[in-house]
Structure 1
Amino acid sequence: MIRIKAPDVWALGFHGEGIVVASGDTGVQWDHPAIKSQYRGWDGSVADHNYNWHDGTCASSPFIPPGNNCLWQLVPTDTHGHGTHTTGTMVGDDGAGNQIGAAPGAKWVACKNMNDQGWGTRAWYADCFQFFIAPTTLVGTNPNPALAPDVINNSWGCPPTSGGENCDDPANDLVNEVNATRAAGIMVVASAGNSGSACGTVNTPIAIYDAVYTVGAFSAPTGVIASFSSRGPAAFTNLLKPDIAAPGVSVRSSLVGSTYGSLSGTSMASPHVAGALALLWSAHAFLVGDIDATETLFNSTATPRTGTQDCGGVPGATIPNNTWGHGEINVLAAVQAAQPTALTVSGLDAQTLPGNALLVVMAAAVLAAAGALAWRVRRPTA
């Protein structure tokens, strides 16, 4: 977390409060001590999984993946372990020294879109996007878009399979689901994939899509891009990808069984960015739901990183490039850059009104508070 400057944002008083992050993954061990308190379905004494958890692996799919074991789980569980680890990187903190999450003040919800062997299908992924746009009860009734999360972490890819799935088709329904999610004001963050280091290895949905903020991985201690981190340009769409990079080598987080351990992959990098978004939107409520502005802010404040690898006609020495995107995410810089710098009053710039400096500051504070209140009324987090 030090590398992305999260502790510096905590020091400013922002930990992700008021923001809801979502995990689309293998599930979550909801009562893991590092993430139980942050689960939106837990009030401190009773758990209510309605609107906070959904098992998408029972959605009808023509492709039956190996080890399919749909049990329609009504309680957040994670036999595989992947989703518990990524959720911990977003919000984890057990209050006893295991501070593993970027935004420990945020809440989380989850949808299981892969089975216990880590296999998913297009239908399962789509089902989870639909749930996040309008969460439902455990039996799929009474959808409520007001309970939608603010950001979804997607540490998975959907490659073509021998079973007949055509997940890499840019025109498939995952494109529609992702676009609809973004249109709802929910940011979609995804791992770039672990097929590097060759060019053109960002090659599976949803990382290849324009509506997705795609994340590559580097080593936090060394600052070196991970050899496995997929490089652009993106297959099928030919977009410059990834968009940004985050720590993804030997990342310590929560494991099933209420333990902790380190894993590597772009799967570990993308939840850093989802957590960073929770910090940014917690600090600046006027940005909530404004994904274009948020992406621009993250891109412009990233620590620039270059390399010698040229991919897709884009020199590695330029920014952005197809290895690092715009560089290392720096959430402190993003929070600071989003601070209001001037206010126009009756057509006059605040800097022309030195005698009214206090009035200008107070007015800006009132406007920011009003914006935050309006959003909270529309998108409750409890």
Structure 2
Amino acid sequence: MSTVRLNPVTVKQVKTEESTIPRGVRKIKAPALWKQGYRGDQVVVAVLDTGCQRDHPDLRQQIIGGYNFTNDYNGNHLNYSDNHGHGTHVCGTIAAAGEGVTGVAPKAKLLVLKVVNGTGEGEVEDIVSGIDYAIGWTGPRGEKVRIISMSLGTPDDPPSLHNAIKRAVANNIIVVCAAGNEGDGRSNTQEYNYPGAYEEVVEVGSVSYSQRPSWFSNTNSQLDLVAPGEKVLSTYPGSQYASLSGTSMAAPHVSGALALLIEKHEKERNRRLTEPELYELLIRNTKSLGYPRSQQGHGMLHLNRR
């Protein structure tokens, strides 16, 4: 049976004394859309990860629902608390409210789906169940999931996982995935991690704040774009804040950015955008860094370009 594993590259505890806009959030130009009045208001992002600290000051108002698909907490499906740290960090980059840090889309809503246990491992069948749950979920006001964010992966290529991804996309949900951290720093070698390497998803690689490809970031022909993934400051269990590195940290920048773009462009066009339209819109909000396509995809996430 295929197992996914989380492997953030570094962990460092950080205390914030006052509200901070993390460097990555600023680097992708999210504040430019905030100034226009867009903060991802009510856009629902399903985060498939290790859960989330439900009472974290920056996240307690952002969580709209959740479910535990693992055996943690004796299999209590209603307890989707984070007993690892990874999921809380990812959630904060997407939508932290600004008490200690501000996420990319601080008014987005998070559907927390715990598919990875406290040791950082998860079964593919649980991830498939989580994807299907996100597809079928309806919120208290009729909300539907618009974005699925997955900072996890396996070197295997399970057909059931690929089919679940296809179902999500067919339901006009855009799926954002981390590329993986098995890279060797070279653009001419191909490292594939799934679901990131599926053609149907948005595969996100990592760059440093100086816009250089991260040494650990997977390179392959399916890479769509890159975002900051080194020393990313975000929320952490215990109502704390921490800096982590990895493509896991790059992907939620893109998930949050999509929430901003959905709010902005659906208001402007007065209609719901399709998944292909969202992908095209996202790619228009990138800038080339001059690296090979296998290392940067279409380029670095850069909001408010067009």
Task: Give yes or no for TM over 0.5.
Answer: yes
Match of 1:259 in 2: 240
Helix, strand or coil at the partner of 1:188:
strand
2: distance between equivalents of 1:145 and 1:115? 30
Out of 27, 48, 69, the position equivalent to 2:51 is 27
Q: Is the alpha carbon distance of 1:24 and 1:17 closer, same or farther for their aligned partners in structure 2, counting shifts above 3 Å?
A: same
Out of 279, 286, 294, the position equivalent to 1:302 is 286
Deviations 1:95-150 (A, max 9, x none): 3xx233000011111111111101011101101001101128xxxxxx99954311
1: distance between equivalents of 2:251 and 2:273? 19
Shift of 1:34: 0.8
Match of 1:213 in 2: 202
Q: Is the alpha carbon distance of 1:155 and 1:91 closer, same or farther for their aligned partners in structure 2, counting shifts above 3 Å?
A: same
Mapping 1:160-309, distance limit 5 Å: 167-169=156-158, 172-196=159-183, 197-198=185-186, 199-220=188-209, 222-232=210-220, 240-285=221-266, 286=269, 288-307=272-291
Q: Is the alpha carbon distance of 1:69 and 1:105 closer, same or farther for their aligned partners in structure 2, counting shifts above 3 Å?
A: closer
Structure with greater strand share of residues: 2
Further displaced range: 23-32 or 282-291: 282-291
Q: Which ranges in structure 1 are unaligned for 5 or more consecutive residues?
A: 41-51, 59-67, 137-142, 160-166, 233-239, 308-315, 338-382
2: distance between equivalents of 1:145 and 1:194? 38
**1:328 is matched by which residue type in structure 2?**
M
Does the 8 Å CA contact 1:248/1:266 hold for their aligned counterparts? yes
Mapping 1:332-347, distance limit 5 Å: 332-333=304-305, 337=306
Does the 8 Å CA contact 1:194/1:229 hold for their aligned counterparts? yes
Q: Which ranges in structure 2 are unaligned for 5 or more consecutive residues?
A: 1-24
Percent identity reads 34
**1:231 is matched by which residue type in structure 2?**
T
Q: Is the alpha carbon distance of 1:115 and 1:74 closer, same or farther for their aligned partners in structure 2, counting shifts above 3 Å?
A: same
Mapping 1:305-344, distance limit 5 Å: 305-307=289-291, 316=292, 321-333=293-305, 337=306
2: distance between equivalents of 1:145 and 1:72? 25
Does the 8 Å CA contact 1:113/1:124 hold for their aligned counterparts? yes
Does the 8 Å CA contact 1:245/1:327 hold for their aligned counterparts? yes
TM-score (norm 2): 0.85
Q: Is the alpha carbon distance of 1:144 and 1:209 closer, same or farther for their aligned partners in structure 2, counting shifts above 3 Å?
A: farther
User: Are 1:2 and 2:15 counterparts?
Assistant: no
Does the 8 Å CA contact 1:81/1:256 hold for their aligned counterparts? yes
Helix, strand or coil at the partner of 2:214:
coil
User: Are 1:157 and 2:153 counterparts?
Assistant: yes
Shift of 1:72: 2.1
Match of 1:62 in 2: none
TM-score (norm 1): 0.69
Mapping 1:50-65, distance limit 5 Å: 52-58=65-71
Mapping 1:30-45, distance limit 5 Å: 30-40=54-64
Match of 1:361 in 2: none
Matched residues, number: 277
Q: Is the alpha carbon distance of 1:243 and 1:122 closer, same or farther for their aligned partners in structure 2, counting shifts above 3 Å?
A: same
Q: Is the alpha carbon distance of 1:147 and 1:202 closer, same or farther for their aligned partners in structure 2, counting shifts above 3 Å?
A: farther
Helix, strand or coil at the partner of 2:120:
coil
Does the 8 Å CA contact 1:18/1:106 hold for their aligned counterparts? yes
Out of 72, 88, 104, the position equivalent to 1:84 is 88
Does the 8 Å CA contact 2:174/2:279 hold for their aligned counterparts? no
Q: Is the alpha carbon distance of 1:301 and 1:135 closer, same or farther for their aligned partners in structure 2, counting shifts above 3 Å?
A: closer
**1:242 is matched by which residue type in structure 2?**
L
Higher relative contact order (CA 8 A, sep 6+): 2
1: distance between equivalents of 2:191 and 2:199? 12
2: distance between equivalents of 1:205 and 1:70? 28
**2:212 is matched by which residue type in structure 1?**
V
**2:69 is matched by which residue type in structure 1?**
G
Helix, strand or coil at the partner of 1:190:
strand
2: distance between equivalents of 1:270 and 1:213? 9
Deviations 1:295-320 (A, max 9, x none): 1222233111223xxxxxxxx2xxxx
